[in-house]
């Protein structure tokens, strides 16, 4: 199963010297292309045992300060990042024949930032954050549903406090790779690497 890529090209002459600006431009194009969940990204981590782990999470904001997502801090990814904050984010926008890989170090966002996002979530999602002991083994689906019902009884109104074990991470990058599919598997790959306070731009062989 092979697909030929030929719709676009990528060169040093048509990208921004700032990788955050370049990501913003590509992200806007993915949104404009009406790709389903363009903010879906693979988060790759490794824990104390050095075994890699990956899962899809949703990007909830980005700026020159970094890329933010939210999760249960006691989940597998939360435990991994507590032990080893180095991680990567991988976006794949198939319709545009593009990938972006962002590597860096994750840090927790402030409690205030986590609170602000938590109150913006739907009521049921806030209840779900309390009900799910994310990544822990459970005996059955009914156990999870019973916990959900229990917390709905505990917090019947719209005001649901943020669980102390739930919040955001910000990935602060030191490397970006922008990948554009090209014919004959001769893909375009441009890497931004942080050296001191400067971003160095390099073309990589496919």
Q: Which candidate in 9, 94, 185, 203 is catalytic?
A: 185
C-alpha span between 60 and 168 (Å, rounded): 9
Strands (E) across the chain are located at: 40-46, 52-58, 61-63, 66-72, 86-93, 98-108, 166-180, 188-195, 198-204
C-alpha span between 81 and 53 (Å, rounded): 11
C-alpha span between 161 and 183 (Å, rounded): 52
CB-CB contact of 206 with 187 (8 Å)? yes
Q: If we measure between CA atoms, which residue out of 111, 33, 103, 13 comes closest to residue 67?
A: 103
Q: Report the DSSP pairing between strands 66-72 and 52-58.
A: unpaired
| 98 given a catalytic annotation | no
> N- to C-terminal Cα distance for the chain?
19
Sequence-distant contacts of 115-118: CB under 8 A, at least 24 apart: 115/162, 117/60, 117/70, 117/168, 118/70, 118/162, 118/166, 118/167
Catalytic residues: 185
């Amino acid at each position: 199963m092979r697909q030929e890529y030929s719709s676009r090209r990528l060169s040093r002459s048509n990208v921004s010297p700032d990788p955050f600006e370049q990501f913003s431009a590509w992200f806007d194009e993915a949104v404009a292309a009406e790709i389903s969940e363009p903010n879906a990204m693979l988060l790759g981590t490794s824990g104390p045992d050095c075994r890699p782990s990956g899962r899809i999470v949703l990007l909830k904001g980005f700026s020159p300060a970094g890329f933010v997502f939210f999760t249960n801090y006691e989940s597998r990814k939360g435990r991994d990042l507590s032990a080893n904050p180095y991680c990567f984010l991988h976006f794949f926008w198939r319709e545009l024949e593009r990938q972006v890989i962002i590597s860096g170090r994750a840090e927790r966002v402030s409690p205030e930032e986590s609170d602000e996002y938590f109150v913006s979530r739907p009521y049921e999602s806030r209840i779900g954050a309390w009900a799910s002991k994310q990544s822990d083994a459970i005996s059955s689906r009914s156990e999870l549903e019973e916990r959900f019902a229990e917390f709905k009884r505990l917090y019947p109104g719209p005001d649901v406090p943020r669980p102390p074990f739930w919040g955001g991470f910000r990935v602060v990058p030191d490397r970006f790779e922008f990948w554009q599919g090209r014919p004959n598997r001769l893909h375009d790959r441009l890497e931004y690497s942080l050296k001191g306070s400067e971003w160095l731009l390099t073309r990589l062989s496919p």
